[in-house]
Structure 1
Amino acid sequence: MGTFGVTVLMVLLMMTQSEIIANDEGCDLLQYLTIGRNGTIQCSFSEYHAVSWFNIDKGETVYFYEKGAQPEDGDASDEYDIYPNGSLYIRNVTLEHDTVFRVIKVISLSKPTVAYEIRVQTVVPPLVQHPVIEQCQDRTTVCYSTQEDSSALSCLVKNVRPRISLVWNQRGADRDIPLSSELTIVSRNNETFTSRSTVQISTKFPLLSVFVCSAEEHAWLLEESETVVVLEKEGPGRISETRKQYIELHTTMLLPCTTSEVHVIVWKRMVHTETTEEVILLKVNTWKMILTRRMITISD
């Protein structure tokens, strides 16, 4: 339990210079807390006589705890509490807690005090745990899309803190090729950020290409740091040959396909009286991933 009444020890702490510890032996010097939840600034003090937590930006003591001291009426804090190991418990983390805290540890009245300055970074995780490519309506991490020549691809991460930077690459069989893209970041009350990266697709790309939108900065906020789209360009020359093959009903269908070394294969079928193409299978083979994805469940 803490006390905020001015004690002799608190006065001494205010007047005494503490040794600032620059390593992580007692407390991690960078810690993350999620806005809207309860959080704890973690420390691990095994032996101490007193602990004082101080908000450097506000210039005020937020919690003081001295072993054996009895709190006075009204001294209990609705916002803060302390654990036996010296960690500071915060009820309902807000943007105001995105600051630097100093914790001073008093080992004994006869020994010098030590202090840690801890940078607290507040966090708001995104609802969708991967970059979302706007052309991919199913919001999966791998999708297929068609685009007209000289069109664009866009991906975004919405309402996240801290901000996330997004980049585009063209992924080949042996390496990624960085692409020039435009990144915009919009702030919402300086609390959360929405990042959008847009890349222009021109005629220089092949018929089937693999593009990757990746989170660079603060990618640890996402379960998946990248999203892949297989892009097929619209236009003439997409169908080079059509062959007819007869299959007996209610038997297993095997369609042979001989290809050289290609890293993208797309299987489709014609539906609605053979006027609409429907993708049924994707296979992507690159330096970073080998993926076969069934796009639909075929039951008819």
Structure 2
Amino acid sequence: MASLRVQHRPVYRMCGSCQENLYLEVGKQGLVPCHFEDFDIIGWINGDGDVTNTSPFIYMEGSQIYGRGYESGDYDMHPNGSLIINEVKLTNEFNYTVLFVPSGGANEYFNVPVKVYVPPDPGYPVVNGRTNQVIVHENTRGFINCSLTGIRPRAHLEWVASPDEISLDSAHRVTDNNDGTYNTYLTSSYKVINSPTWRVSLICRVAGQMADLFPSVTTVYLLLEQRKLQILRE
């Protein structure tokens, strides 16, 4: 097996040539994309800070891959130095360090934070017990609930609706499932302000940047029984 050279005056860089703000899905194969050229050794270390005395769990010297992580089958490496996680687990949410040994140069270290995510089950926000497209027969005032279960990381839900048609008073709640995942709830009372027809539509979705991880939405069609009767009588 090739020997691993370790020097004791490391140069630290933030993220370097590795992708930032990375989320990997639990249960799938994950790639931590990096790109290095002209190197003698690329290694991956668990942890950050002073890791000069820590051996990589996987490393590449030339075209050969070594290390306990490779031998166990948990990890692999792309020829450009990227880390391959064969099956992403919650424990892979970690601050990794890349050891980069350039040809004829001193060791360099790159801090690479990796986060993981778990999609919801079911895959859409649940509104009043249903998903994807929901039809609710109600009056001009009432209550409506939306939830996502079994997700990671934490996220909040929001309603998307026309403020000229409907007003919403909402409360958020997040519960911890004690298995690394969370449930998030949005409980709302509503009041229809103005509806030329007998239908108001609104969408429940994940709010903010977490919507990139959880893009599914549920559309709600609120059918107003009182308003429908008024239209039929006119």
TM-score category by the smaller chain? Answer: 0.7 to 0.9
| 1:188 has 2:180 as partner | no
Provide closer, same or farther for how the CA distance between residues 57 and 183 of structure 1 changes in structure 2, counting only shifts above 3 A: farther
8 Å contact kept, 1:57–1:99 = no
Provide closer, same or farther for how the CA distance between residues 9 and 238 of structure 1 changes in structure 2, counting only shifts above 3 A: same
Structural mapping, 1:153-232, within 5 Å? 153-171=144-162, 179-202=168-191, 206=195, 208-217=199-208, 218-224=210-216, 226-232=217-223
Q: 2:5 aligns with which of 3, 6, 9?
A: 9
8 Å contact kept, 2:99–2:109 = yes
How much has 1:35 moved relative to structure 2?
A: 1.2
Structural mapping, 1:80-91, within 5 Å? 80-91=75-86
Provide closer, same or farther for how the CA distance between residues 72 and 152 of structure 1 changes in structure 2, counting only shifts above 3 A: closer
TM-score using structure 1 length: 0.63
Provide closer, same or farther for how the CA distance between residues 70 and 176 of structure 1 changes in structure 2, counting only shifts above 3 A: same
How much has 1:107 moved relative to structure 2?
A: 0.7
Aligned length: 227
Q: 2:108 aligns with which of 110, 114, 132?
A: 114
Structural mapping, 1:57-76, within 5 Å? 60=54, 61-67=56-62, 76=71
Match of 1:43 in 2: 34
How much has 1:223 moved relative to structure 2?
A: 4.2
**Whole-angstrom CA distance in 2 between matches of 1:112 and 1:155:** 55
In structure 2, the residue corresponding to 1:40 is in which secondary structure? strand
Runs of 5+ unmatched residues, structure 1: 244-300
The more displaced of 53-62 and 42-51 is 53-62
Structural mapping, 1:288-299, within 5 Å? none
How much has 1:203 moved relative to structure 2?
A: 6.7
How much has 1:105 moved relative to structure 2?
A: 0.9
8 Å contact kept, 2:59–2:67 = no
The more displaced of 117-126 and 55-64 is 55-64
8 Å contact kept, 2:65–2:77 = no
**Whole-angstrom CA distance in 1 between matches of 2:185 and 2:28:** 27
Provide closer, same or farther for how the CA distance between residues 71 and 55 of structure 1 changes in structure 2, counting only shifts above 3 A: closer
Q: 1:126 aligns with which of 110, 115, 120?
A: 120
8 Å contact kept, 1:21–1:114 = no
Match of 2:73 in 1: 78
**Whole-angstrom CA distance in 2 between matches of 1:237 and 1:8:** 76
TM-score using structure 2 length: 0.79
8 Å contact kept, 1:162–1:193 = yes
Runs of 5+ unmatched residues, structure 2: none
**Whole-angstrom CA distance in 2 between matches of 1:169 and 1:72:** 50
How much has 1:182 moved relative to structure 2?
A: 0.9
| 1:20 has 2:13 as partner | yes
Note the alpha carbon deviations across 1:63-103, whole angstroms, 9 max, x for none: 23323779699983432222211111223221111111110
How much has 1:44 moved relative to structure 2?
A: 1.5
Note the alpha carbon deviations across 1:224-264, whole angstroms, 9 max, x for none: 3x333222344488235459xxxxxxxxxxxxxxxxxxxxx
How much has 1:52 moved relative to structure 2?
A: 1.7
Task: Quote the RMSD (CA, aligned, Å).
Answer: 3.4
8 Å contact kept, 2:95–2:113 = yes
Provide closer, same or farther for how the CA distance between residues 103 and 8 of structure 1 changes in structure 2, counting only shifts above 3 A: closer
Q: Which is richer in strand?
A: 2
In structure 2, the residue corresponding to 1:179 is in which secondary structure? strand
8 Å contact kept, 1:29–1:116 = no
How much has 1:128 moved relative to structure 2?
A: 3.9
Provide closer, same or farther for how the CA distance between residues 191 and 54 of structure 1 changes in structure 2, counting only shifts above 3 A: same
Provide closer, same or farther for how the CA distance between residues 32 and 176 of structure 1 changes in structure 2, counting only shifts above 3 A: farther
Letter in 2 for 1:9: R
